[in-house]
Structure 1
């Protein structure tokens, strides 16, 4: 952990050597967190005092708007050096977050070729593979020998973010193969790249980030090439960027499963009013939906008055249905997210969940009947409670198994079928099941 007071003192006294010593002793991500805690003057002093390469490493972990503010207050030459040292995907994120006139001003500080490639990445929509791609990779023609390739790696490797793979390209920049650095090191000097290249597995630039993350995870790679519609290599996505995507998607799913809209920022940077806005919509929807439970109770008012003991078990039964549905939907949403289950598996899922529900339902029905017997209600009421518990468990499992799969097929986020939503849905329908069984078995 960085000694923030020591860093602040070094900045306040403009002790350049102390600032460099502190920066070299810690990891860039930790320095970025400390940088955010300094005031504006302190941030500028620290970045100006460090070598441009080290400043670039630190600033890669800073939020885009703060990154722009710092760069905008540096001398033009230093801004240009830092920009050219930074990963292209970080530069693209910042350019897209600021006003286009501000972006043009910074883009003009980049070399023409680099600027053109950055502008290409800026054209891809958010949450696509193209928007995550970096152009800091190493490519080489398939006709190059190992000796020539190694000389090229030594020349450009320091500027590349991805050195684990060398991408083999054709005359028009089309992706023809991929070679790991390990293969290159172990190959004979006069071997041509195309002779040891593997068949590339790439992703189109417009593929969703989540799909790209699943693909990278499946093959255990550290980078994934991104191509355009003509199969020309336009960049590569690194594993660290896709880990961020996986974390964001998992966080979003967890928040939606809790019955809340996902937050755009971290918890402590989210205002109270923003939390209110994210939660109140779902709460109001669930509140209105829950109101139909009262309508069901009113409809069966005569049944309740004839057998008042039925009311004792309403919280128990609807709670059991909600819990069952939440368990099922949570399991399936996660299975869908990691690609274990697809819509084509719907009948397998239904069969599996129904068998599980039958087993759990019989167990819960037995306990529910025992509970009714312990309360001293009539035996036939106990049978109603037990049978209803079984039916509600089966019904809740069926609904919670089908809805996420249908939503996934419709390209909607299955996490919207959250625990609270399933609970609310099962509450009302569970009461209908309960009173319908009671009317049949008790002759009410």
Structure 2
């Protein structure tokens, strides 16, 4: 713990000792960020945590709870006392509440739902009907909406009335009588407009929105691509479900990047931070991929067994097996990583399959030719014959070209089949490259070195 946190902890602990000093804590901590409050709480005993939270304003406690895990959120709401806990729950963002309710027992969630206003309960239940990783699951209902037949003056009065409860007031979303999203007006346009002008006359009807069932990756791409502060979410009938703000998208981007990196490493994605994951949870997440890759490597063993005769005649061929397989794997990983990222950010689509494969096959050939020169010289420096050098060089050219092509194509095939490209990248490419690489190597050896086995 750094000195600032340590000093703050000591100050808080000292203030908690007497009733009089405890009452001064809200003033002492008014400049403390919610994240910092959530981060420092674990340093205190449970009783001290409750004492501290119970004297802070409900909105401050609500903001801090948004940075905690569901089990911690429920513990505080259960122990803070119902009247205060109700106020805290109602101060939390709707997307946080939805994630929280989805993570706890349904009976617990139903009990806490009753603490919300009736209209808010309906909105929360609606958001909970959408899968977690979709636009509907990410949406929040704290936005400013107005009817298209309202005047600018009426809309501004509405902003003043509910603005404190909204996530953002920069934009007012315009709805028709059926609740369908028909336009958007910026706060600047609203202030500058003639007070008697109806919103329908100056709203922007060419707005960008997403369906509630849209995947969160696509949501992140849309917000990033169009530099949006908030993205409206609509249902199949065009009715407004909620909005997704840019700060929520940053969490999505981090989550998706973490998941892809873990999949690329040959491990199932973790459901929690690494240090919070249980020992056997880490074991379960990793053992299955290791077993799958182990079985996949059986193909490599079978190929080596099949070409035992070739190896026995030219023992020096064995020296280059790790180099060739490693080079092929590296080339395949380069291509797959680039394509997976391009797919993730929308730079390429499944329709670009032929162009990408053609591009990577040519690039792989050029890379292979360059590597072949280095490999040929390496074979000569260790005392190998020219024929051995040609064998290894020809193999490198072919393996790198095949690896680049396969590495680029498999992620796109995975996307077409509805499978996360990162899932296929590691096991499939490893299996294909290792097996194909050995087969290519020994076949070149048989023909170039004139081995009859």
> TM-score of the superposition, structure 2-length normalised?
0.94
What corresponds to 2:346 in structure 1?
Answer: 339
Partner SS for 1:168: strand
Partner SS for 1:417: helix
What corresponds to 2:193 in structure 1?
Answer: 187
Matches within 5 A, 1:40-439: 40-198=46-204, 199-419=206-426, 421-439=428-446
Q: C-alpha separation between the residues in 2 aligned to 1:392 and 1:205?
A: 45
Q: Is the 8 A contact 1:296 1:431 kept in 2?
A: yes
Q: Is the 8 A contact 2:292 2:427 kept in 1?
A: no
93-102 vs 12-21, greater mean Cα deviation: 12-21
Q: Is the 8 A contact 2:380 2:389 kept in 1?
A: yes
Q: Report the aligned-residue RMSD.
A: 1.6
Q: Is the 8 A contact 2:411 2:425 kept in 1?
A: no
> TM-score of the superposition, structure 1-length normalised?
0.96
Partner SS for 1:77: helix
Q: 1:411 to 1:8 in 2, by over 3 A?
A: farther
Q: 1:190 to 1:336 in 2, by over 3 A?
A: same
Superimposed CA distance per residue, residues 339-377 of structure 1 (whole angstroms, 9 cap, x where no aligned partner): 111110011101211121111111100110011111121
Q: C-alpha separation between the residues in 1 aligned to 2:385 and 2:324?
A: 18
Q: Is the 8 A contact 1:10 1:19 kept in 2?
A: yes
- Displacement, 1:213? 1.5
What corresponds to 2:10 in structure 1?
Answer: 5
Q: C-alpha separation between the residues in 2 aligned to 1:115 and 1:154?
A: 24
Superimposed CA distance per residue, residues 70-117 of structure 1 (whole angstroms, 9 cap, x where no aligned partner): 111122221222222221111222222222222222222222111221
Partner SS for 1:412: coil
- Displacement, 1:400? 0.7
Q: C-alpha separation between the residues in 2 aligned to 1:47 and 1:433?
A: 67
Q: C-alpha separation between the residues in 2 aligned to 1:304 and 1:99?
A: 61
Superimposed CA distance per residue, residues 180-238 of structure 1 (whole angstroms, 9 cap, x where no aligned partner): 22222333333322222112322111221111111111111111111122111121111
Q: C-alpha separation between the residues in 2 aligned to 1:219 and 1:355?
A: 34
Q: Is the 8 A contact 1:323 1:423 kept in 2?
A: no
351-360 vs 38-47, greater mean Cα deviation: 38-47
- Displacement, 1:159? 0.8
Q: C-alpha separation between the residues in 2 aligned to 1:102 and 1:286?
A: 42
Q: Is the 8 A contact 1:396 1:426 kept in 2?
A: yes
What corresponds to 1:21 in structure 2?
Answer: 27
Superimposed CA distance per residue, residues 19-69 of structure 1 (whole angstroms, 9 cap, x where no aligned partner): 213431211111111124433222221221011122222222222221111
Q: C-alpha separation between the residues in 2 aligned to 1:355 and 1:162?
A: 50
Q: Is the 8 A contact 1:145 1:192 kept in 2?
A: yes
- Displacement, 1:336? 0.9
Q: Is the 8 A contact 1:258 1:418 kept in 2?
A: no
Q: C-alpha separation between the residues in 1 aligned to 2:269 and 2:102?
A: 22
Q: Is the 8 A contact 1:322 1:396 kept in 2?
A: yes
